[in-house]
């Protein structure tokens, strides 16, 4: 194997977070076509499979800079200064933004092939909800045209831009003024050997970060407008920031950190992702792998994988009534949970990480 590669991401590399899971599988794909020389990533502690590769953190907090939210270009600055000049780099894969300074230097120094992978949110949509609910949009690198140009300019150096849904491809091509249409490669999932038994009653769940883009407020309001005795389960790998008023405690169960995915999915019968905008959304696909039908908003990139009425439902963003309608449908038709759950697992089998990694491998081979 004569080709050398590096991987740059502002996410961690771990089996816990969405970006971390993507990073693990990107590392695997790179190793199949090249010698992975080193990794620049968003944490000092990568997954064990990366321990044979020199790894350096570009995370602002790891370097003692606490005010990291106001420094969206810190990762690019650190990656640029951590670049190794030897040996020659044939292939660079980035995941996330921004890496304009770094990629420009790599192109100049090595004439490397560059693949830029990102999961863009629709900036205009997230800005609307931030202003509506918080009164401010605290991301100047996304709101200011000049800063956005700097933030996204590494995409212009790319030989290939990879996104994870057709909606993302259409959006980022126009937003970042990319001349070549991005390649769509979905994220993947792991298929558990056994499916946990479904609860006897409707128990919906959401798992992940709590933030404006995730649409959890719309989901919570929908559930509060339904007269059911069971609780909606809200989980999060890093601890859910979902606060429940005392008067509504009987309607929600907030689990916080969940060590094993099965421990969460076995508690629910239907998974709901109400995100107003999301580049893909791994957790609904994971839920499908566990035989759970899904209700996903159109803002979730992976909604393109869901067939309405077959393995779940797709609803408009911000539509509380649509969420109420679909949750009511599952409550009134428990056999449909079983039927769609079986179909959901079959859908998930089309998007295992082994299948998805092979798509990356083929892309890399085309470039090398």
Q: Report yes or no on 233 lying in a domain.
A: yes
3-state secondary structure 92-141: EEEECCCCHHHHHHHHHHHCCEEEEECCCCCHHHHHHHHHHHCCCCCCHH
Q: What pLDDT score does 340 carry?
A: 98
Supply the range of the domain harboring residue 295: 204-350
Say if residue 253 is in the same domain as residue 264.
Answer: yes
41 and 170 housed in the same domain: yes
**For the whole model, what pTM was predicted?**
0.92
> Domain total for the chain?
2
Average pLDDT per 10 consecutive residues for the chain, totaling 368 residues: 90 80 92 94 70 85 70 88 89 94 94 96 95 91 92 94 97 94 96 92 92 92 94 73 67 83 92 97 96 97 97 97 98 97 97 97 96
Give the CATH number, domain containing residue 282.
3.40.50.2000
Are 335 and 358 in a shared domain?
A: no
Q: Are 71 and 150 in contact (CB under 8 A)?
A: no
Cis amide prior to 214 (ω within 30 degrees): no
Q: How many residues does the chain have?
A: 368
Q: What is the model's pLDDT at position 359?
A: 97
158 and 246 part of one domain: no
Closest CA to 240 of 214, 208, 272, 262: 208
Is the domain of 251 the same as that of 342?
yes
């Amino acid at each position: 194997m004569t080709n050398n590669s590096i991987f740059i991401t502002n996410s961690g590399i771990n089996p816990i977070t969405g970006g971390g899971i993507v990073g693990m599988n990107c590392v695997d794909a790179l190793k199949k076509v090249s010698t992975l020389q080193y990794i620049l990533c968003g944490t000092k502690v990568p997954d064990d499979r990366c321990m044979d590769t020199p790894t350096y953190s570009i995370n602002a907090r790891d370097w003692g800079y606490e005010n990291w939210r106001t420094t969206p270009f810190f990762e690019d600055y650190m990656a640029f200064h951590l670049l190794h000049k030897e040996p020659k780099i044939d292939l660079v894969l980035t995941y996330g933004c921004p890496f304009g300074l770094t990629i420009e230097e790599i192109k100049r120094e090595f004439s490397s092939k560059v693949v830029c992978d990102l999961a863009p949110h629709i900036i205009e949509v997230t800005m609307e909800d931030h202003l509506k609910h918080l009164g401010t949009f605290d991301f100047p690198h996304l709101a200011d045209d000049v800063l956005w140009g700097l933030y996204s300019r590494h995409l212009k150096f790319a030989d290939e831009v990879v996104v994870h849904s057709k909606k993302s491809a259409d959006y980022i091509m126009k937003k970042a003024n990319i001349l070549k249409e991005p390649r769509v490669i979905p994220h993947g999932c792991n298929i558990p050997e056994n499916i946990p038994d479904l609860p006897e009653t409707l128990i919906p769940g959401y798992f992940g970060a709590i933030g404006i883009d995730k649409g959890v407020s719309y989901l919570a309001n929908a559930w509060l407008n339904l007269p059911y005795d069971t609780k909606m389960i809200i989980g999060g790998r890093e601890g859910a920031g979902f606060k429940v008023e005392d008067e509504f405690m009987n309607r929600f169960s907030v689990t916080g950190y969940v060590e094993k995915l099965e421990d969460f999915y076995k508690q629910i019968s239907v998974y709901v992702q109400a995100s107003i905008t999301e580049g893909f959304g791994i957790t609904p696909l994971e839920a499908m792998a566990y035989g759970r039908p899904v209700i996903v908003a159109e803002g979730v990139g992976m909604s393109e994988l869901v067939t309405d009425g077959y393995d779940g439902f797709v609803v408009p963003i911000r539509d509380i009534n649509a969420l109420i309608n679909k949750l009511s449908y599952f409550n009134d038709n428990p056999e449909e949970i079983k039927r769609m759950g079986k179909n959901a697992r079959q859908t998930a089998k089309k998007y295992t990480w082994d299948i998805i990694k092979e798509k990356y491998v083929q892309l890399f081979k085309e470039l090398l």
